[in-house]
Each structure stands twice: as C-alpha cells, then as structure tokens.
A and B are shown apart, each in its own frame.
Chain A
Amino acid sequence: MPIADEDILIIDTPGLTLAESVYLPEIVRGLGTTLRHMVTSWGQGKTSRTIQYPEQRREHYDVEKGGQFDDNFRGVHRLNRDDAGRVKCVACMMCPTICPANCIHIVAQESPWDDREKYPQQFEIDELRCIFCGMCEEACPVDAIELTPEYDLVGLTRNEMIFDKEKLLSIYDATIERKPM
C-alpha cells in the first residue's frame, strides 16, 4: 500500500541564495556559531561534554548530567558473599551456560557446608573475553554473581585478566559499599 500523500514530507534541496554564495557573510556567521560554542563550553561550561578523567570521573556526576548510574552499570564482576562470609555461589552452572562469550569456567565440588550440595572450588572469569552483557547476573538463581560499577580494568598480561575466585570475592569487598546487594 503506497504511503498517503499527507504522510509525505517533500524535501526540496534549494541551491545557494545570493548571500550564501557570496561566502564572506557566511564565514562571519559560521565563526559566530563557533565562538558561541567556545564561550559556552569554556572551562567545563554548559555545553562542554568533556570529563577530565581520572581527576573527575563519571560517578561524580548526577545521572541526568551524564553521570554513571551505579545500580545498573555493567562493569567488572564480583562474587557475592553470604551472611557468613562464604561464597554464595552454589555451582549450578547457569552462568557458564548462558554466557554468550563462553568466558566463565567453574570447577564444582561437594560443599563442606550443610546448607548446600555443591560449591565452586574454582571460579574463573576471563575478563578479556567477556562482553559485559550482564546475562550471567540475570541467570544466577541465587544472586551470587553481579556486575559492579567498576570499569577501570587494567592488567599487564593476559593471565592477570583471568579473575579467579579470590579476586572476584575481593571485588565484592571493595564494592559492597557502593553497590549494596
């Protein structure tokens, strides 16, 4: 079915007017626009979108002013602890199954505690392979794995970037204040 005429917006592309083709007045007007931008963005002004990282960071800003929303942000993972400080994970293998990047590796073992059958003896996430989609967090039935607001993720070697259980638990300790469970 052809689109009705009243739904069409005809764009005509007119050539240059005399003033525009003379070019000089246009240069002045263009400079005016540029100057206006320069003045309004001077020193982190209204229209400036620059953040002077790392002195300033996105988390220092209000969400509506371009800040980071900590509750939602999909950064580095952490493994949550339960009330007794043990790893909360029950090694159910949901997260390695759902992970589109295949970057979670778990070795499950019989748990030494009575409240569950299994626990992860090894838990590794290859942060270089991870695409931070958040599906592992969605899939976990006991809220054991979560993505944190941390985003500065650096390392000198690839091996360093494979985070093991201890590292992931230590990220929990470091971020629990900022993002409560």
Chain B
Amino acid sequence: MSERQHTIFLDGEEVPFRDGETVYEVSERHRREVPTLCYDPRLEAFGACRLCVVEVEGLRNPVASCTTKATAGMRVNTRTDVLEAHRKTLLELVASESRAAAEAPAGAVPGTVDPLRGYASQELATLASRYEVSGERFAGAKSGHSKGADDDNPFILRDYDLCISCYRCVRVCAEREGDYAISVANRGFHTQITTEFDSKLSDSSCTFCGQCVQTCPTGALADKKALRKVDVPGELQKTRTICPYCGVGCSVDIVTKGEEIVAVQPAMDGPANEGALCIKGQFAWDHVQHGDRLKTPFVRGEDGELRPASWDEALDRAAAGFRKAYAEHGAHAIYAIASGRAPHESAYTVQKFIRAGFGTNYIDNCSRA
C-alpha cells in the first residue's frame, strides 16, 4: 500500500482519481450527474456544449469538466446555484435554435422527438425537462437546414432543423468509423453538418454505419427505417442479442413494439463493438418481417416445379436425400452452409446436426467475415 493515491475534493468529498482522468470522469464515477450534450465517452472530449462546466477553487471562470484533467488536491464544485443557472441558460439558448424545441406545443418539453430516431435522441429533451427549460426564452432565428428530399438515401434522415452543432456525428465518423464522411461547414450560427461538396451521403465516403445517427443527442440524424414504425402502437422494448451477420459479434438491441421489430440499435456497452455497427447490422432487418418470406415448406414435384408441402413430407424428402448421399459417398460428401440472416439458434442447430449427425466438420456460414 505504499503507492500514493491522488485525490480531489468533489463537492467537499475527498475522492481518488486515476492518472489522466478528467474531472468529468471522476464526477461520473461518483454519480454527480453533470449534464452534457456534446459528450460521448467513446470520443475525445471536445468542449462544445459547456454544460459540464464546474467551479474549480482558485480559478476565476468555471471550466469544462470534460476537457479538464483532475490534478491532486483540486477542489471542485459540480452543482452550485451559479452553475445551474448557466446550465439552464445554455439549454434555453440551444432550445431556441432548434425547430423541435422552439415549436414545441405549450406545456410540452422542448426538444421532444420520437425515441425511434436514435439511441441518444432523447438527451436534449431529458435535460430540458430536468432544467424546466422554457421554449420561449431567447426567441430568434433557427439554425440548420434539413435535407429532406435532397438526400433520398433509404437509411439516414438528415433533419438538421433539429441540429444543435455538437459535432458528435462528425467526430464519431472520424474517430470511430474512420470514414471522415461528414464535416462542419460555415461558422458561427450558420454552421451546418455537410459532406464533401454538400453532396448526398450516398455520393460521399459514408458507409451508412449509422453511428452518427445513434450518437446524435437531438434526433437531427434519424433512422429512417425505424421512423416507418412510429405509428405502430405499443411501448418500446429492447432485447439484447448479438448481430448474426458476421464473426465480429457486435452486441445489438432489437427494439420491438409488441410482436413487431421496429428498430435495431447498437449496444453502447457491447464489448466487441462499443456502439458501432455496419450497414447490415444497423439497417438490414426488414427480411425478418417481410411479406415475401416462405411460411410453409416446399418440395419439388416430378415435373420439377416447387409445390407447398407439409413439414412431415418435406422432412422425409430431406432425410431421404441425406441418407442417399451418405450411403453412396460417405460423410464428407455432406456440406452445410447456414445463412447470416437466420437466428443464432438455427446456426447452432445446423452445425450440431452436421457434426453429430453425420460426423463431418464440413460446415460454414455466409457471415464468416
């Protein structure tokens, strides 16, 4: 126990910190609930929203806790009346520039958007409610221009009327996805998220991974596939699973209303992906509930045409085929490939069936990426 433990004083309480930790990280660990909007723990701290400001004894102005490293003996206050007043003013300012926030009906919380827009889409509304933000103060021009029909890609809605210029989307695209597809155009109140030459996402280097959507704290970037399901009745429920498409094993939450899948969202705490997905894991789930899916087995008749059959008939036919192949050519003549669009349970069953049933390891999966 000879190693010296460094501490800071957090609202008067002496707490330890690790080398390199920011004041915000220490505060989080001690449940101070310091508000943030531009913060995403996976990204380099940026210091845009200034909501995370704290008072540090000896400094004249408050500092952004997200960009301030803890140093031994520092005395920090995270929630004084003055700080809370600044936070409320900042939230009222940011509410005043957003279409959704400024045009919220009387009594509604400014910034309210449908949670199907994306994982983090409720952050602004949640803070607006916590700080009892009025949508009327600081009225004036709105910032940002939604793309609407100008970007008709099937996945991502670019509804920049709601954008509050936190640049989480730009930073996640650069720092996590490495695609650098989007950036900041113009300056000041006229900043706008853009692509190269203000093109459509499909003409940019975007891979439609959806990470920008899921980190957006306002729903300005939204999941178009999920938005089709806004009117489906029922409460949102999330079920944790692993994306079946490839071998990385990204954790996802299947979002459902009743029996219906309405969205897929990445698990921010997924050990393999930490909130990242690819275009398939993020957006390619329509097949699950697609009307064209087969609902009964089919067998081929003498005439070579497929016709509906009962399960017993279909299984008998399959078994006969396997038996014949096994008898004539041996176990290694049998080879199974499972689909990445099938559930994990099916994939497991297929390999078990081939290995234990026939004694061969000739199995594969289309998502062996």
Q: Do A and B come from one complex?
A: no
A-side residues, CB < 8 A to B, are none
